[in-house]
Structure 1
Amino acid sequence: MIKTGSNFIHVGQIHVDTEPILISTVLGSCVAVCLYDKRVCVGGMNHYLLPFWNGNGLQSLKFGNISIPKLIESMIDKGAKSNTMEAKIFGGASINFSSCQTMMVGEKNILVAREILNDYKIKIVAEDVGGNSGRKIQLNLEQGKVLLKYTAKSNFGDM
């Protein structure tokens, strides 16, 4: 039975659990990677804002190249194995910004997720990425399923 309670994650956060809970977030150009290992019933989600930490300042989970490996390591610490994990990727919407470089942040966030998961040989079994709409997602750790709802373009932002 699913435990109730708020397990909402914000930018730069990760939640990994063995309990049958719901983890949710809201995405615009940010990306969330959802991992699940049905063999040991461990699941988790991250939420990152930018694809790469460039080495300046502190390392942070708001960067995909930091957040995704940390999510995978946290799953392994709870008993999961990379060869039995399945991944689902969400987010990476295009948002109209003034600079060309920031317009591509959603696409770059998606690419970094695919590349890192491929490096770890974790199979991507589903994704809903890109486009112009934000997404609200909820990962059900009892079954490893994700419920997705689109948000109106004018009403979304990364949280």
Structure 2
Amino acid sequence: MTRLLQRAVRGQSLPGDDYLARNRFHDHQFNCDVVKIMPGEFFVSSGNVALATVLGSCVSACLWDPVTRVGGMNHFMLADARGRADSMRYGQFAMDTLLQHLLAAGALAHSIEAKLFGGARVMRGLTHSEVGRQNVSFALAYLNEQDIPLAASDLGETCPRKLYFFPDSGQVKLRRLRADESSLVIREEQEYQQRMIRGV
């Protein structure tokens, strides 16, 4: 564990509160509240709640401690911060922030495990094809550096994914989206990329 994350355990102030997901609704199918994680957001919780997101080339890490039953999810779009490391849009900050908040919520560092999803090649062209692959490579390298075991994954390929993560049990429900559902995900990622370029 890095010194940065050790500071989080000792209760010092944590970055990232501005990126907490705030879109919450009740799902009657699962009979629990669902927190929707948009690109550049994260959430950490326990108890009867689900964390949900939709992924194209983006990656989400679901980190979970089976001992304390505390878990969280992030959603980042690019592995490389390009000099702007203080944003959840980028892998390093997104992973550090999620892990710090997980530890601050009571998770035990030695028992945390990960599940990774996303990194699909959903947009045509070499540049966009590389984004998903780079996100996946970064996330796997990060987990290895932090000695966090990968318990499950569904990565790469060409289809977007919709997933629900349940921090109380560590369970994930994943659905690969059909071709007619993919266009909305692609459009949302393109719009998000444009906002990033404009600095919005």
- Structure having greater relative contact order (Cα 8 Å, sep ≥ 6): 1
What is the match of residue 19 of structure 1? Answer: 47
Q: Which has the higher helix share?
A: 2
- Secondary structure at the aligned position of 2:175 is classed as strand
* Residue 142 of structure 1, CA deviation: 2.1
**C-alpha distance in structure 2 between counterparts of 1:31 and 1:82, whole Å:** 22
* Residue 80 of structure 1, CA deviation: 1.0
Runs of 4+ more than 3 Å apart:
none
What is the match of residue 95 of structure 2? Answer: 68
**C-alpha distance in structure 1 between counterparts of 2:130 and 2:143, whole Å:** 20
* Residue 139 of structure 1, CA deviation: 0.4
Deviation sequence 1:102-157 (CA, Å, 0-9, x none)? 32100000111111111110000100000110100000122101000010234221
Mapping of 1:1-159 within 5 angstroms? Answer: 4-56=32-84, 59-98=86-125, 100-156=126-182, 157=185
Q: Which amino acid aligns with 1:135?
A: R
The total of aligned residue pairs comes to: 156
CA RMSD of aligned residues (A): 1.7
Q: Highest Rg: 1 or 2? A: 2
Question: What's the % identity of the aligned pairs?
Answer: 31
- Secondary structure at the aligned position of 1:10 is classed as coil
**C-alpha distance in structure 2 between counterparts of 1:18 and 1:142, whole Å:** 5
**C-alpha distance in structure 1 between counterparts of 2:67 and 2:138, whole Å:** 26
Q: Which amino acid aligns with 1:74?
A: H
Query: Which runs of 5 or more structure 1 residues have no equivalent in the other structure?
Result: none
* Residue 3 of structure 1, CA deviation: 6.4
Query: Which runs of 5 or more structure 2 residues have no equivalent in the other structure?
Result: 1-29, 189-200
Q: Which amino acid aligns with 1:62?
A: R
What is the match of residue 23 of structure 2? Answer: none
* Residue 54 of structure 1, CA deviation: 1.2
